[in-house]
Amino acid sequence: MFPAASSPTSAAPLPPAEPPASGVPGPRSSPQARQGGTQRDAFFDNAKYLAIVLVAMGHSWEPLKGDSRLLESLYQVVYAFHMPAFIIISGFFSRGFDLRPDRLRRLITGVAVPYVLFETAYPLFKRFVDHDPHQEISLLDPWYLTWFLVALFVWRLTTPIWKLVRCPLPLALVVAMAASAAPEIGDDLDLQRVLQFLPFFVLGLSMKAEHFRWVRRRSVRIAAVPVFAAAVAVSWWAVPRMNTGWFYHRDAAQELGAPWWTGPVMTLALFGCSLLLTACFFAWVPRRHRWFTALGAGTLYGYLLHGFLIKGGDYLGWFDHDWLRTPLGEVLVTVLAAVAVTLLCTRPVRRVFRFAMEPGMEWAFKRDAAELAREREGAEPRRESREGRERQERRRKPSVE
């Protein structure tokens, strides 16, 4: 999960109902993994890491793709599934989310607070690096990457509703289709993206662990090869005929110069294509521990921080060199983007920026009454046990005549 404030963005990090301190989706351990401790599920960490690498690669292609039909084709294919993959995993790990105070606190500290900090930091970065003193700071207008945090916050809060209704996925598709034909929604909080990507989150809420095991079968992995090859071929044909903006889910059909009815049609068509490519992506994700598995826990860091490198390169003219628009230059930029986002997911970087991504903020919240009651219940047996030991000690002491 991906460019000027109006340019496309991608996922993120793939943010569970009971996430780590950051509040962003993080894989839970499987029963098998828990037998040996509190290990995380390697498959989901691998998927998150590989998806964040695709996010960074896609963003690095943005300044270069206009001069290469092949790069534009690959760009469209990647944008068709990397955000849906992130969002499906986010929904899958949000299945147990409710409005319990401790989970709301994690949602605030792990999603809302990073949004405020980075929504402020990116415009300030543009002011100073791009010498644009008039760049505004607005919490209502998500800038570049931060829209995903707004979307995740809204999706999480509405999770109890989607768990309550009978047919959540068809209903979410209807909402997305309606949004795609309603330019009146406007740009506040990037609600178009929030609503048009909603079906993928609801799909994740509806999925079970066996669905992920099904797409990881050998037959699916083999079938994924021709599927991706066909996707690249179709994208090559579509580049001069189709507006890439459809893949961003950022605008209504009328804003893309199309009649209103194409919005619902494209929403369904792209949902089907994205679902197919996402299944193929999951089929290729390693299920066992790899050298990069541990980096899956830091994808939020890589997601939010790599934007400064891409934007900084854009502001400073790094992408203006003609040789970067050659095949060798494009490969070099791709590799550098993958290496950079990998480094940003490592433990040293996470320690430095934990104050922004995973703030404790205990001072900001009241103690939950239920939590206090649980602590008192735990303290009472300990007090009774201590008093019992004291009585036994007194009985063992010889009496004084």
> pLDDT of 218-237, one tens digit each?
999 999 999 999 999 999 99
Residue whose structure tokens are 């590799």: 335
What angle in degrees, to the nearest 10, is found between the helix axes of 299-315 and 347-357? Answer: 90
Write out residues in the chain with pLDDT < 70, as ranges: 1-39, 368-376, 378-401
Model pLDDT, residue 6: 39
Cα angle 342, 343, 345; round to 5: 70
Model pLDDT, residue 366: 83
State pTM to two decimals.
Answer: 0.83
CA distances from 326 to 78, 304, 314 (A): 20, 28, 18
Model pLDDT, residue 144: 87
Residue 361 structure tokens: 């903020």
